[in-house]
Chains A and B, each alone.
Chain A
C-alpha cells in the first residue's frame, strides 16, 4: 500500500542544521498536512496545503517552512533545527479539509 510515504523514518541532527522531511502521496489528494506528536500535546498541526502552491499555517508553524510545487509532494523544512523540535512528525492527506485524513508512518526526529 504505497499510498502515503515519509522519508526518512528516523533522523538525528544537530542544533542549527537545516533538515527536510519528505512526504509523498499517490492518491492525488488535494489536501496535505504536517503534524508533530509530542507527549502531553497529542498531534498538533504545523502547516497544511489545500492544493499545489497553496499553503497555510496551522497551530504551531514557527521554525518550519513548507512548499508544494507538485500535488503529490509536501516537504517540511526546519530551517535551523532546535532541540524543542525533537518530535515525531506525521504527514497526512485528504480529499478535503473536512474528510478523513490518511496518515504516513511518521518520522522520528531527534535534534541534539
Chain B
C-alpha cells in the first residue's frame, strides 16, 4: 500500500501565481512528515519538515491529521522554484521511511 501519495506528477504555474503541491499519507501512529526538493543537477535536499513549522524559501506546509495531508504551499511562485518535490514520511523505526512518487513543478515566466 502506498504510504505517501502525491497525486500530481506534473504541475505548471505562472510566475507570481500561488502553488500547492498535494501530499496525503497513510500511517497509524504519529509520523514525521517532510518535503524534499531536487533542483536540476543538484542533490535531493530537505525543504522543510512539519515539526519545525518553518517557512523555507516562502514555502509552508501544514500537517492536517484529520485529512492525513501535508500539502506544500507558496503564495507567489518564482522561476527558481521549478524542481522535483517529494513528500516523505518517517515512522517510528528506521525502516519506515517512505517517499511519494514526486511532483515536477514548472514555473512559467
> Would B90 and A97 count as touching, CB distance under 8 A?
yes
> Would A40 and B101 count as touching, CB distance under 8 A?
yes
Is the CB of B43 closer than 8 A to any CB of chain A?
yes
Is the CB of A50 closer than 8 A to any CB of chain B?
yes
Tell which of B4, B34, B43, B95 touches A48, judged by Cβ atoms closer than 8 Å: B95
Tell which of A41, A48, A102 touches B97, judged by Cβ atoms closer than 8 Å: A48
Q: A43-B99, A105-B43 are in contact. Are A97 and B93 (CB under 8 A)?
A: yes
How distant is the Cα of A77 from the Cα of B39 in the complex, in angstroms? 28
- Which chain B residues lie closer than 8 Å to A102 at the CB level? 45
How distant is the Cα of A35 from the Cα of B86 in the complex, in angstroms? 14
> Would A48 and B94 count as touching, CB distance under 8 A?
yes
The A interface, classified by DSSP as helix, strand, loop or mixed, is strand
Total A-B residue pairs with C-beta atoms closer than 8 Å?
50
Is the CB of A14 closer than 8 A to any CB of chain B?
no
The size class of the interface chain B forms with chain A is 20 to 34
Would you give the shortest CB distance from A19 to chain B, in whole angstroms?
Answer: 22
How distant is the Cα of A58 from the Cα of B98 in the complex, in angstroms? 10
Number of interface residues of A (CB under 8 A): 25
- Which chain B residues lie closer than 8 Å to A35 at the CB level? 99
Q: A90-B44, A97-B93, A103-B44 are in contact. Are A59 and B101 (CB under 8 A)?
A: no
Q: Which of B4, B32, B94 has the most CB of A within 10 A?
A: B94
A58 and chain B: residue at smallest CB distance: B95
> Would B97 and A45 count as touching, CB distance under 8 A?
yes
How distant is the Cα of A21 from the Cα of B44 in the complex, in angstroms? 18
Tell which of B4, B46, B97 touches A97, judged by Cβ atoms closer than 8 Å: B97
- Which chain B residues lie closer than 8 Å to A56 at the CB level? 94-95
Is the CB of A100 closer than 8 A to any CB of chain B?
yes
B3 and chain A: residue at smallest CB distance: A59
* A-B interface, 9 closest residue pairs, ranked by CB to CB distance from nearest: A97-B94, A43-B99, A42-B101, A103-B44, A42-B99, A100-B46, A48-B94, A103-B43, A58-B95
